[in-house]
Structure 1
Amino acid sequence: MNLQTLPGLFISHGSPMLALDPEKTGPALQRLSINLPTPKAIIVMSAHWESDALEVSTAIRPETWHDFRGFPKELYQIRYPAAGDPALAEQLLALFADAGFQAHANSTRPRDHAVWMPLLHMYPEADIPVITISLPTTFSAQMLYQLGQVIAVLRQQQTLIVGSGSITHNLATLTWQTPQANAPDWATQFRQYVVHKLQHHDFDAVLDWKNLPFIRQNHPSFEHLAPLFFAMGTGPRFSLVHHSFSMGSLGMDIYRFD
């Protein structure tokens, strides 16, 4: 069997409206998928699945969860019916256990929008198995990085590994009525700093996230930045796939790690 190595990705999944109004990010995700070998499976760490302990979805066909309120009814009609992959999920659990990370199987968790919304643009046929892993709230940035390192071996099995979060995420500052509003300086300077450090392979500076410039304005809470640390662990070579802002301060960056 001729397997190809896939990268690890960090995807800023943005607002749920990305499913109906792709802006610049949807086409960027589509181009990315066209330029990659077709995955045999996809693993996603979701910013919206926070848990006390590390969990892995073992469901055969998880439901599509519309985990948001107040959006157009068309959004709630979208389904992403990709199968799960219980065998790969068991392999994940074994990899984590071998590395000293206790992980639990979860057969009931539905897929939140951080999982299905980017994949809707990348693989709209929903014909590739998808596994979701949780974001443990007790894990440090370094531990999340180590999780990425642990499962990076699966990239060689034509498995796509994704951390789905957001490079900036302060909902209180978004210009919902004017999606094309200019980004504030504190948002642009933050993502420029992160990209600069990643380009120069100063991963330690990014993992030291509490000292990043304008961190409190960009991330009042940790969960949407955390999947970046996981993605960073999947490969040492960084490249910027896409950069844009939506609704003023919502960064829509996509990063690749090889």
Structure 2
Amino acid sequence: MDKPLPTLFLSHGSPMLAVQDSAAGRFLDGLGKQLPTPRAIVVASAHFTGAPTHVGAAALPHTIHDFGGFPPALYELRYPAPGLPALAHEIARTIDAAGIPARIAPEHGLDHGVWVPLLRMYPEADIPVVSLSVDPRGDARAHVALGRALGELRNDGVLVIGSGGFVHNLGDLDWRHPDASLAPWAADFADWMRERLGSHDLDALADWQTRAPNAKRAHPTVEHLMPLFVALGAAGEAPTMRHLHQSHELGTLALDAFAFE
């Protein structure tokens, strides 16, 4: 591979992203074709939480349907991508060598933060996938450091993805108006984040919980934003940001996607 792969942050939104026609879904349908084909994919997912960092090492990871109340057809979907245990163990050793405790998860499958976007990007499910946990009590700096430990993977044909949500407040979803404009408080938070990502203001981003407007409302819990910091860290010291996609659903789910390289 001539140049390192970018790292990605993808907002996966509702599990219905796997089957619904939507702006975010159509974006993901084309994204895989725009990238060099990776030899493997590592996904830090908001729905795989654990401390210390867990690395999925199943040779044939099962598809996890970690959601409820959706149409039956969604539970019949499978994403039968192989795992890559050798890479998982290599990642665990690399993370541990960076001073970040790591643990192998030998039977962990692919949660919907992993398989839903990958089903749209790589529907053939023929690229090995390794999942990575985020710490639901962690902070941005710790997740940037985790990403930094993964940085060399980009030079070895491995695509590093953080899968979460740019604004993620399920309690304020506007189910009556699914096409409603993004709520002003959510838009203010998203705008602040976009500006800081664009200027690579790591100090401000690291303190997003105290400095970003409406931070607590945008993320009542932090696990959906932590994958962004993993992707940011994996791209190196001063990466260039490309804003790949911007859409929203249900008034409070901002579905932005970014590449860092």
Q: Which runs of 5+ in 2 are unaligned?
A: none
- Other structure's SS at 1:255 match: strand
For 1:23-62, what aligned pairs fall within 5 Å after superposition?
23-62=22-61
Identity %: 43
The equivalent residue for 1:11 is 10
Give me the whole-angstrom Cα distance separating, in 1, the residues matched to 2:138 and 2:2. Answer: 32
Opposite residue 221 of structure 1, the aligned amino acid is T
CA shift in 2, pair 1:243/1:118, >3 Å: same
User: 2:225 is aligned with what amino acid?
Assistant: L
CA contact (8 A) 2:135 2:223 kept: no
Once the two structures are overlaid, the 10-residue window that deviates more, 59-68 or 130-139, is 130-139
Distance 1:173 1:138, change over 3 A: closer
**Equivalent residues in 2 for 1:68-217 (5 A)?**
68-211=67-210, 212-217=212-217
1:218-237 to 2 correspondence within 5 Å? 218-235=218-235, 236-237=239-240
Query: Counterpart of 2:130 in structure 1: which amino acid?
Result: I
Contact 2:55 2:88 in 1 (8 A): yes
CA RMSD of aligned residues (A): 1.2
Q: Of 215, 236, 260, which aligns to 1:257? A: 260
Q: Distance in 1 between matches of 2:176 and 2:123?
A: 28
Match of 1:240 in 2: 243
Contact 2:146 2:233 survives alignment (8 Å): yes
Q: What is the Cα deviation at residue 3 of structure 1? A: 5.7
**In 2, Cα distance between equivalents of 1:136 and 1:189:** 26
Using the TM superposition, give the Cα deviation of residue 257 of structure 1 relative to its aligned residue in structure 2, in angstroms: 0.6
**CA offset at residue 175 of structure 1?**
1.9
Moved more, 196-205 or 114-123: 196-205
Question: Using the alignment, how far apart are the partners of 1:39 and 1:30 within structure 2?
Answer: 16
Asked if 2 retains the 8 angstrom alpha-carbon contact of 1:4 and 1:158, the reply is no
C-alpha distance 226-119 of structure 1, shift in aligned 2 (>3 A)? same
- The one-character-per-residue Cα deviations of 1:75-106 (angstroms, maximum 9, x if unpaired) are 00100000000111111011112111110111
Asked if the contact 2:140–2:205 (Cα under 8 Å) also holds between the matched residues in 1, the reply is no
Aligned-partner Cα distance in 2 for 1:82–1:157: 19
Preserved contact between residue 44 and residue 162 of structure 2 (Cα < 8 Å): yes
Which amino acid in structure 2 is aligned with residue 252 of structure 1? L
Kindly indicate whether the alpha-carbon contact (under 8 Å) linking 1:4 and 1:157 is maintained by their aligned counterparts in 2.
no
Q: Structure 1: give runs of 5+ residues left out of the alignment.
A: none
Counterpart AA for 2:229: F
Compute the displacement of 1:137 (Å): 3.4
TM-score (structure 2 length as normaliser): 0.95
Distance in 1 of aligned mates of 2:29 and 2:11: 14
Matched-pair contact (CA < 8 Å) for 2:55–2:130: yes
The CA deviation at 1:204 is 1.6
Q: Is the 8 A contact 1:53 1:138 kept in 2?
A: no
Say if 2:45 and 2:133, in contact at 8 Å, map to a contact too.
Answer: yes
Moved more, 131-140 or 153-162: 131-140
